[in-house]
Structure 1
Amino acid sequence: MAPLARCHGQTSCTEQRDRDNTFMLLRDEVEMLRRVPIFSRIAPAKLKLLAFTSDRMTYNVGQDLFHQGDPADAAYVVLSGTADILVHSPAGDIKVADVELNSIVGEIAILCDVSRTATVRATSPLEVLRISKEHFLKLLSDFPEMAVEVMRVLADRLNHTTAELTAARAAKLPQVAM
């Protein structure tokens, strides 16, 4: 039989285990954040600060992270699972994009200082890191390299959206016989 672990000093064994578990979760969150494109070039110490000031949250299938029109109070980094981005229309909700592992959502409303532009709904069990608006904006201010990565991600989304809009409008144009 293995000897029992002993805790020394003023820390109880339970407190030590809690601290060890917190450290392991923090280390895991830092590794997950490194895989997110906007955080990939950020120093590990800065990512540790981000992970420490964020909240890990879970959602079941069908649960919404936020709704179109809600105040923009946080951005969310997808640690596991998938979700749909839905926009309300007179004909009902329209799916406009998928959210996958290592994606960030909710940052546009924060950056534009507007209410949520879409609803995000979990399509599988979803685990996210919730970054408050205040922390997100402070990070962008303190770490210009992160701001540049956010601009790259947003520019890529704009490019993709422009291509989709062009294709949709072209499909509606009358065909000219040659």
Structure 2
Amino acid sequence: MAITDDIALLEKFDFFSKMTTEQLRLLIFGAERKEFATGEIIFTEGQPAESAYVVLSGTVNLYRQNSQPNQPIDIINKNALLNELALITKVNRPFTAIAQSNTKTLKINRIVFLKLINEFPEITQHIYDYVSERMRELASNINHLTDLKKN
């Protein structure tokens, strides 16, 4: 995949959508391409999350420790972003990710992302807006689940 393809892909994610082409180029240069064979663990639930992953090709199954054994909670295909909040704060992985097929990823490290924010502080307002919206969605989902339990 050419760097222009990587930039075009990152631009599609809300998290990165307000970044300039040059900022995305710098982010990609600091990222690590990783390949995972079928069945290989990409990361494990509960581990400290110090990076986000962009799935460039392949399929990834997501599992939770408290879900049914061998039953994924979600199946992620190419052109997906996993654990983007790990780029801005210390969190633990909320699920285990296992390659269902040979999978290529772009691993973006928090340190690289934070250096980019320090160099281009205008990015922070968009990130703040993004996180705020995610929090509103989470609160709405919790309220919806609470209403379902009442009925």
Q: TM-score, normalised by structure 2?
A: 0.74
Partners of 1:101 and 1:160 in 2: how far apart? 28
Question: Cα deviations across residues 61-92 of structure 1 (Å, max 9, x unaligned)?
Answer: 22221001222221111222322221102864
Question: Cα deviations across residues 4-40 of structure 1 (Å, max 9, x unaligned)?
Answer: xxxxxxxxxxxxxxxxxxxx73222212212223222
Partners of 2:72 and 2:143 in 1: how far apart? 17
Amino acid at match of 2:4: R
Amino acid at match of 1:169: K
Moved over 4 A (4+): 109-112
Question: Cα deviations across residues 119-165 of structure 1 (Å, max 9, x unaligned)?
Answer: 11122332211011212334455312541464267347626853774
- 1:53–1:90 CA distance, 2 compared to 1 (3 A): closer
Q: Which residue of 2 aligns with 1:144?
A: 124
| Structure 2 portions without partners, runs of 5+ | none
Partners of 1:95 and 1:169 in 2: how far apart? 24
Partners of 2:137 and 2:36 in 1: how far apart? 25
Query: SS where residue 92 of structure 2 aligns?
Result: coil
Q: Which residue of 2 aligns with 1:128?
A: 105
- 1:147–1:163 CA distance, 2 compared to 1 (3 A): same
2:49 aligned with 1:69: no
Does the 8 Å contact 2:88/2:110 carry over to 1? no
Aligned-pair distance for 1:169? Answer: 3.3
Structure 1 residue corresponding to 2:13, chosen from 32, 36, 41: 36
Aligned-pair distance for 1:113? Answer: 1.7
Q: Aligned-residue CA RMSD in angstroms?
A: 3.1
Q: TM-score, normalised by structure 1?
A: 0.65
Partners of 1:63 and 1:126 in 2: how far apart? 9
- 1:145–1:167 CA distance, 2 compared to 1 (3 A): same
- 1:159–1:139 CA distance, 2 compared to 1 (3 A): farther
Greater Rg over alpha carbons, structure = 1
Q: How does 1:1-178 map to 2 (within 5 A)?
A: 25-89=2-66, 92=69, 95-109=72-86, 111-140=88-117, 142=121, 143-148=123-128, 150-151=130-131, 154-155=134-135, 158=138, 161-162=141-142, 165-166=145-146, 169=149
Amino acid at match of 2:26: L
Identity between Structure 1 and Structure 2 (%): 27
**Higher percent of residues as strand:** 2
Query: SS where residue 49 of structure 2 aligns?
Result: coil
Partners of 1:167 and 1:93 in 2: how far apart? 30
| Structure 1 portions without partners, runs of 5+ | 1-23, 174-178
